[in-house]
Amino acid sequence: MFVRPAEPADEKLLWAMLYEASYARDQGMDSPDQLRDVPGLGHYVEGWGAAGDLGVVGGLDGASLGAAWLRLFSADDPAFGYVDADTPELAIGVAPESRGTGLGTALMTALIDAARKDYDAVCLSVRQDNPALRLYQRLGFVAVDGSDKVNLAGTTSITMILRFR
């Protein structure tokens, strides 16, 4: 297993991992390219490598199979788990064939360790029925009170935050 810092050249992989994270296949999409037209999703990846962007890429046997990344958003253009302009929102996606291998935990741990140096907290949005919710709780994320909302798939998501200081 490997984990390395994400680079601007990883944007295509980030689109693919956002496709996995957003359950786009379940919504009838057959390509990560279709995410660019979904309101609220494109800004998670579009123009990756801007100031403040931070991420990691990982995989098995030399193949990149997952990524975790974060970006800052503004109140004028918030992401789904927006808390405030100083708290970056994290996204993570792992290819189906590598789920259950520990890759997701390794990616989250590496990204959290890197983010801790520059930020007071990180946040994310997660479906309440997503098995990754347990991982986020184990890593110390807690639900933001009153953050329950219906997501693009029509199910309920919550915003979670991990405070470093």
The one-digit pLDDT tens for each residue of the chain (165 residues) are: 999 999 999 999 998 998 888 767 667 777 777 777 776 788 889 889 998 899 999 999 899 999 999 999 999 989 889 999 999 999 999 998 888 889 999 999 999 999 999 999 999 999 888 888 999 999 999 999 888 877 666 678 899 999 998
Q: Whole-model pTM?
A: 0.89
Residues 6+ apart with CB under 8 A from 72: 52, 85, 86, 87, 88, 89
Q: Helices (H), strands (E): how many in the chain?
A: 3, 8
Q: Using an 8 Å Cβ cutoff, are 158 and 148 in contact? A: yes
- What pLDDT shows up at residue 108? 95
So what's the pLDDT on residue 23? 67
Name residue 76's amino acid: D
Question: Which pair of tokens denotes residue 115?
Answer: 């983010």
Give the pLDDT score at 113.
97
pLDDT of residue 156: 84
Tokens of 165: 């200081």
Whole-angstrom distance, CA of residue 107 vs CA of residue 74: 25
